[in-house]
Structure 1
Amino acid sequence: MQLLTNTHTFPYTFEETIVAVWQKYPNDMSEHVKCIDILDRKYNKEEKKITTHRLITCQQKIPTWLQYIIGKELTKSKVLEISELDYKNKQFSLKSLNITGGKFLKVYEEVVYKPNMAGNTTEFKQNAYILGNTNFNKINSKIEDWSISRFNFNAARGKKGFESILELLFGTRENN
């Protein structure tokens, strides 16, 4: 298993950032995200929390050697995402897990958005756990290495795409 961690400070308020999260897709930088379906959404009035379950459909090219292992049909994958907006404590967390291809690869991702102490920017932290899930260590290692490379590529493009949505909604701002 391998762990990836990314952090970033967005020069937008917590409220602005959360509005943009719901508008993130589609964007030109995350073309691999094909569809997002909201499966369930609940509001807890006493705790001021909104919990949302979404099904995210992605499609991307995979190397030929990997197609031989997992099959061509797994170029399209489904991811279950559960998010919780805790407005009382000013935190937005998302947890996701792939629900296709799990017998070959498991990807578990946690993302947290929080306002910084000054309150005018938003802190972002992302952890992704990537685990090759076959009976062969060498194949697991190769699958994990490719997945980490692809995850980093998609994360960098996703950040640029998200920043373009923030700019579209709230104007351009510079990080301090």
Structure 2
Amino acid sequence: MKVFSNTETFDYSWEEVSTANWRKYCPWNNKSTHVIAVDTVSRSVDPATGILRTERLITCKQPAPDWLKSIFGGLEESQVFETSYVDPANKTVTMVSANLTLSNLISVQETVIYKPLNEHQTQFTQDAKITALCGGWQRIKNNIEDTLVKRFRENAAKGKEGFEAVLEMSRRVFAEEREREKMDVVRAQATHIRMAAA
């Protein structure tokens, strides 16, 4: 088993990050083009805790190294099942995911947590446990696990850059919407004053 761990800090509030997280793979993010579909399977809120639980199926498409294709075939699409928990009371987003594709040969268990560092910053922690389950030589298992850890590292670097773009765009869109709402209120008040004066 190999472990990939990553910690990042986003200069955005937890509220901004937890909201933008749902748009992480939208067109604003041109760094996560390997994610080709995100389908929500279920969503519910626990009435006792207020925790939002969401299950999603994420489909990715990435080319594998030739030597890995020779072992597992030419499969380039893979599916991941993600369960997320948004806890507004404790200000945490926890996402737990596992691979569905080739799960009899490889186990990839990932946990991601977003929590506030302060009012203006949010910490992202990512831990992935990668285990090659296929029989055979330990050297082959190690190579498979090392290749997947390398892929996680590459995707993590691109993922941070892409999510930063989503966060920036979200902040801009929300600011524009707030400004538009203010202008609507001002226009309504001006109309009311004109009508009252007439």
The answer to whether 1:32 aligns with 2:34 is yes
Cα distance in 2 for partners of 1:9, 1:126 equals 12
Q: Which runs of 5+ in 2 are unaligned?
A: 173-198
Deviation of 1:138 after TM superposition, in Å, equals: 1.4
Q: TM-score, normalised by structure 2?
A: 0.83
The answer to whether 1:143 aligns with 2:161 is no
Instruction: Looking at secondary structure, tell me which structure has more strand per residue.
Output: 1
3-state DSSP class of the match of 1:154?
helix
State which of 48, 59, 62 in structure 1 corresponds to 2:61.
59
Aligned to 2:14: 14
Deviation of 1:89 after TM superposition, in Å, equals: 1.1
Q: Which runs of 5+ in 1 are unaligned?
A: 172-176
The percent identity for this pair of structures is 40
3-state DSSP class of the match of 1:45?
coil
Aligned to 1:174: none
Counterpart AA for 2:96: K
The answer to whether 1:98 aligns with 2:94 is no
Deviation of 1:29 after TM superposition, in Å, equals: 0.3
Q: TM-score, normalised by structure 1?
A: 0.93
Aligned to 1:152: 153
Instruction: Looking at secondary structure, tell me which structure has more helix per residue.
Output: 2
Q: Report Cα offsets for 1:21-58 as digits up to 9, x if no partner.
A: 00111321011100000000001132111000000000
Aligned to 2:127: 127
Counterpart AA for 1:114: K
Counterpart AA for 2:54: T
State which of 20, 25, 48 in structure 2 corresponds to 1:46.
48
Cα distance in 2 for partners of 1:164, 1:103 equals 36
Cα distance in 2 for partners of 1:55, 1:104 equals 20
Max Rg structure: 2
Question: What value does the CA root-mean-square deviation take over the aligned residues?
Answer: 1.0
